[in-house]
Amino acid sequence: MSRFWSDKVRAITPYTPGEQPRHERLVKLNTNEFPYPPSPKVLEAIREVDGDALLRYPDPESLQLRSTIASYYGLEVEQIFVGNGSDEVLAHAFQGLLKQASPLLFPDISYSFYPVWADLYGIEYQQVPLDQAFCVSVADYRGDVGGIIIPNPNAPTGIALALAEIETLLQNNPDCVVVIDEAYVDFGAESAAALIRTYDNLLVIQTLSKSRALAGVRVGCAMGHPDLIEGLTRIKNSFNSYPLGVLAQRAATAAFEDKDYFRDTCARVISTRGGLSSALRAMGFEVLPSSANFVFARHPKHPAETLASELRARGVIVRHFGQARISEFLRISVGSEEQCEILLSELAEIL
């Protein structure tokens, strides 16, 4: 606390990012990074950047990257926005599109950054409870609504909504923006990008931090009607007009271009997730059905907090949230086959 803090700084409760250990050799299954390196073509694209490219400011419009994403999804470049990680893109959407007279709705169990941005920007919000099975019930999102944001698949549950349900949500709420946060979509859910031409109130947000193995580069994107994209661009150009450096733009473009590598490595993670889920169930865990690159699991006899700290002592880090309804669960990122084997053998000993 400092006497120089503004009222705003005094009032906010910031988001707590997952631990990024600096020195220890740990099996890191706590922040849902991809377990394999990015495509070799990404590394090549970074190596090809020369000094001349670095001494100048980058393209403020990230045109090449946006065109590549547009053609990947069969959209126009005016329908694509990019930013410094999807966290930045989400923050701009909160400030530029979701701050309205009526409250913003999002699930009670969801990405814990949402209430932080809502508080930062003074947005009134209501958290809509997931049902008994930890699923989003789209019928609960209607009435006096200023905006909706839902991750698909949801985090930290990993449970996905079908595209038809997202379409119902859009039809029920034509007068507010519906944001679908698709951070984990490539691991088993269907992208709502296919609905963008039909619904002018839909904004789909994705990240290159998970399925494209670029968490360290910080690139996220939004897709939607050109007017929504223009709204985000107005915020960006009132905040930081060069959010993506040259290296980030080149790396992200190459990642979208290498479709084969993307498809094959995601398939590996999905296959590892199946084995990990079965093995955890065999140990007595209840594992929610995951469409993401993590599993959410609880053991009827062993408190999650204790399991997390015992695993930590053995060099394996997983994520535990001390929040109501989910404090008995562990969120475990799907690592490489080898990392998952280490996790399972340490867990077997602890149990």
Going by the DSSP 8-state scheme, the letter that residue 77 receives in this structure is G
Contact between 85 and ligand PMP (CB under 6 A)? yes
- DSSP per residue, 260-320: HHHHHHHHHHHHHHHHHHHHHHHTT-EE----SSEEEEE-SSS-HHHHHHHHHHTTEE-EE
35, 107, 158, 220: which one contacts ligand PMP (CB under 6 A)? Answer: 220
Shortest Å, Cβ 23 to ligand PMP? 23
Nearest to ligand PMP of 251, 347 (CB atom):
251
Contact between 33 and ligand PMP (CB under 6 A)? no
Binding range to ligand PMP, per CB under 6 A, among 84-92, 124-132, 185-193, 230-238: 84-92
Contact between 249 and ligand PMP (CB under 6 A)? no
Q: Is 181 helix (H, G, I), strand (E, B) or coil?
A: strand
At position 32, the amino acid (one-letter code) is N
Shortest Å, Cβ 259 to ligand PMP? 20
59 closest CA partner among 79, 88, 92, 82: 82
Q: Helices 246-257 and 63-73: crossing angle, nearest 10°?
A: 20
Contact between 157 and ligand PMP (CB under 6 A)? no
Q: Is 330 helix (H, G, I), strand (E, B) or coil?
A: strand
> By CB under 6 A, how many residues form the interface with ligand PMP?
12
Structure tokens at 120: 């930062």
Binding range to ligand PMP, per CB under 6 A, among 79-87, 127-135, 193-201, 256-264: 79-87
Contact between 183 and ligand PMP (CB under 6 A)? yes
Contact between 87 and ligand PMP (CB under 6 A)? yes
18 closest CA partner among 264, 215, 201, 253: 215
Nearest to ligand PMP of 2, 16 (CB atom):
16
209, 249, 272, 339: which one contacts ligand PMP (CB under 6 A)? Answer: 209
Shortest Å, Cβ 86 to ligand PMP? 3
29, 33, 178, 181: which one contacts ligand PMP (CB under 6 A)? Answer: 181
Nearest to ligand PMP of 77, 183 (CB atom):
183
- DSSP per residue, 208-271: SSSTTS-TTT--EEEEE-HHHHHHHHHHHTTT-S--S-HHHHHHHHHHHH-HHHHHHHHHHHHH
Exposed, middle or buried by CB within 10 Å (0-12, 13-18, 19+), for 74?
exposed
Nearest to ligand PMP of 181, 346 (CB atom):
181
94, 111, 187, 261: which one contacts ligand PMP (CB under 6 A)? Answer: 111
Residue 302 near residue 264 (C-beta atoms within 8 A): no
Residue 292 near residue 2 (C-beta atoms within 8 A): no
Contact between 30 and ligand PMP (CB under 6 A)? no
Q: Which residues of the shown chain bind ligand PMP in the complex (CB under 6 A)?
A: 85-87, 111, 151, 155, 181, 183, 207, 209, 215, 220
